[in-house]
């Protein structure tokens, strides 16, 4: 970063500080990961200089000789990795990708059905503060209070009553396998478009560690930077030609201008990496690690929503531990354990001060950590949370000790790309 250091030493120093922070902490945020050096290199290139409105072979700017090849490679790799006929790699991120689905298939005021945000859905699945909840008519499903899992009979009942035109499955805090065939059957029955938002689990789907929505969902949206381990971006995929045409028009010119070509190149690199046997092993290890961490936490008296996990993600309700999610996440962050506080189903507390925390194993698995390290992480989480619930001085001592131990662990597992 020699040029950056001389032009803007302040920003250069801050980037280095963030790199050190990432190196020294255990990243347990379920939606984050570490991209490879190759992906990082692709993002920091001259491709950022180019405008490419349109699609390969049909652009509104000249000079696309190289960009067309890059975008075509990204598209072909997405199609081959996920087994779909069409892929659009231009959405700027997950929310714009999901907005494109609305624009492609709905008119303002139409009914959309999605999982409620506090149950694990996403803002763009029709939550009230999102444009999708304001400009469309949202209806919601959740999870059962007794199991913490989606009840497909209830989903069917709501769909038959409300007749949504679009149904979303998937979300941001779902620790269990998504039943794509069951959602598809309901969508067929009510004549809705089924959108599978696989942002969280795309890497697991690509690696064969979670069932694929292909053959069930009409459209699939995903970010590229979570378990898929690519740059910040998104993709939309479909099998039927008419769905793909509608999605392409919705992305451009419906919602976006020029694609971010440096991101497209990095997505192409990540998709190449995700097609390797090494990535398949990675995806399976993510789940093994998540289940080991879940088991450790259960053994230590934590309350896990749905009682465990089938994927990379664990949602903890800290109510029985006597503290809220926010102070727990803040204390853990000081100890070097990075999480986010999160609402839990039927949460009596407010979203900015909820009862839970959400954790995931995509990042720690990218660092090469395994079951033994998950057990250690579970123990540290317990020590910090238990001390915090007891008394502040004790919590300070524990945080300082755990921070030192975390540093020792992270130094043995260097993160990719750093």
Q: Which two tokens stand for residue 26?
A: 């255990």
19 is in an annotated binding site: no
Residue 370 CA, distance from chain mean position: 21
CA atoms within 13 A on the CB side of 121: 29
242 annotated as ligand-binding: yes
Which residue in 31, 43, 289, 361 binds ligand DSN (CB under 6 A)? Answer: 31
Residue from 172, 248, 339, 361 in contact with ligand DSN (CB under 6 A): 172
Residue 54 or 94 with smaller CB distance to ligand DSN: 94
Within residues 121-160, the interface with ligand DSN by CB under 6 A covers 122
- Let me know if 232 is a catalytic residue: yes
Hey, how many other C-beta atoms are within 10 angstroms of the C-beta on 44? 12
Pseudo-torsion of CA 64, 69, 70, 74, nearest 10°?
Answer: 130
Q: What residues are paired with 139 via a beta bridge?
A: 113
Q: Interface mask (CB under 6 A) for ligand DSN, residues 67-106, using x and -? A: ---------------------------x------------
Q: Which of 51, 79, 249, 401 is catalytic?
A: 51
Classified as helix, coil or strand, 99 is: helix
Minimum separation from the CB atom of position 122 to ligand DSN (A): 6
Q: Examine residue 306 and tell whether it contacts ligand DSN (CB under 6 A).
A: no
Provide the mask over 253-292, with x wherever binding to ligand DSN is found by CB under 6 A and - wherever it is not.
----------------------------------------
Question: Is 226 a residue of the active site?
Answer: yes
Question: Which residue, among 194, 222, 214, 204, has the nearest Cα to 95 in the 3D structure?
Answer: 222
Is there a catalytic annotation at residue 197?
yes
Parallel, antiparallel, or unpaired: how do β-strands 26-27 and 337-338 relate? parallel
Catalytic residue among 197, 303, 338, 373: 197
Q: Where are the strands (E) in 49-133, listed by range?
A: 54-55, 58-59, 86-88, 111-115
Residue 161: CB atoms within 10 Å: 10
Residue 3: is the preceding peptide bond cis (ω within 30°)? Answer: no
Backbone angles phi, psi at 26, to 5 degrees: -95, 110
| 264 tagged catalytic | no
Q: Which is nearer to ligand DSN, 111 or 172 (CB)?
A: 172
Question: Binding string to ligand DSN for residues 7 to 26, with x set by CB under 6 A, is what?
Answer: --------------------
Question: In degrees rounded to 5, what are phi and psi of residue 231?
Answer: -75, 170
Total residues in contact with ligand DSN, by rule CB under 6 A: 4
- Min dist. Cβ of residue 293 to ligand DSN (A): 18
281 is catalytic: no
The verdict on whether residue 123 carries a ligand-binding annotation is yes
Residues 202, 216: Cα–Cα separation, whole Å: 15
List the interface residues with ligand DSN, window 358-397 (CB under 6 A): none
CB of 231 to ligand DSN, least distance (A): 15
- For residue 100, the 8-state DSSP code is H
240 φ/ψ angles, rounded to the nearest 5 degrees: -75, 140
Nearer to ligand DSN, 100 or 398 (CB): 100
In the complex, what is the shortest distance from the CB of residue 39 to ligand DSN, in angstroms, rounded to a whole number?
A: 19
130 vs 383, which CB is nearer to ligand DSN?
Answer: 130
Smallest distance, ligand DSN to C-beta of residue 2, A: 34
To the question of whether residue 117 is assigned a binding role by annotation, the answer is: yes
DSSP string for 2-13? HHHHHH-HHHHH
342 membership: H or E segment, kind and range: strand 340-342
Residue closest to 142 by CA, chosen among 345, 415, 361:
345
Give least dist CB 178 to ligand DSN, A.
15
Residues forming the active site: 51, 53, 197, 223, 226, 232
Q: Which spans of this chain sit near ligand DSN (rule: CB under 6 A)?
A: 31, 94, 122, 172
């Amino acid at each position: 970063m020699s040029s950056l250091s001389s032009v803007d030493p302040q920003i250069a120093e801050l980037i280095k500080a963030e790199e050190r922070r990432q190196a020294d902490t255990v990243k347990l945020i379920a939606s984050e990961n570490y991209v490879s050096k190759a992906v990082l290199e692709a993002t920091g290139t001259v491709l950022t200089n180019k405008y490419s409105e349109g699609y390969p072979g049909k652009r509104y700017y000249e000079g696309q000789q190289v960009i067309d090849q890059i975008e075509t490679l990204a598209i072909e790799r997405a199609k081959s990795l996920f087994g779909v006929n069409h892929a659009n790699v231009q959405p700027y991120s997950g929310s714009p990708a999901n907005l494109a689905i609305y624009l492609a298939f709905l008119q303002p005021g139409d009914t959309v059905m999605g999982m409620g945000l506090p149950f694990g859905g996403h803002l763009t699945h029709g939550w009230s503060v999102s444009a999708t909840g304001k400009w469309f008519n949202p209806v919601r499903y959740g999870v059962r209070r007794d199991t913490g899992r989606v009840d497909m009979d209830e989903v069917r009942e709501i769909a038959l009553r409300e007749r949504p035109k679009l149904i979303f499955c998937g979300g941001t805090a779902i620790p269990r396998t998504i039943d794509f065939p069951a959602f598809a059957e309901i969508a067929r029955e009510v004549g809705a478009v089924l959108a599978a938002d696989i942002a969280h689990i795309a890497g697991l789907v690509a690696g064969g560690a979670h069932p694929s929505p292909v053959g069930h969902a009409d459209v699939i949206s995903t970010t590229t930077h979570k378990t898929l381990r690519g740059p910040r971006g998104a993709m939309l995929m479909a099998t039927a030609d008419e769905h793909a045409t509608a999605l392409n028009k919705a992305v451009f010119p419906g919602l976006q201008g020029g694609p971010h070509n440096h991101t497209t190149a990095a997505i192409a690199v990540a998709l190449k990496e995700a097609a390797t046997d090494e990535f398949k092993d990675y995806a399976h290890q993510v789940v093994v690690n998540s289940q080991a961490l879940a088991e450790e936490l259960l053994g230590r008296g934590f309350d896990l929503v749905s009682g465990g996990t089938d994927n990379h993600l664990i949602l903890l309700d800290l109510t029985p531990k006597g503290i809220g999610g926010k102070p727990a996440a803040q204390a853990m962050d000081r100890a070097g354990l990075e999480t986010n506080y999160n609402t839990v189903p039927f949460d009596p507390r407010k979203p900015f001060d909820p009862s839970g925390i959400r954790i995931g194993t995509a990042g720690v698995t990218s660092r090469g950590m395994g079951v033994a390290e998950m057990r250690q992480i579970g123990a540290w989480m317990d020590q910090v949370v238990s001390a915090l619930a007891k008394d502040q001085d004790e919590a300070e001592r524990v945080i300082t000790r755990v921070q030192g131990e975390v540093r020792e662990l992270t130094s043995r597992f260097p993160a990719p790309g750093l």
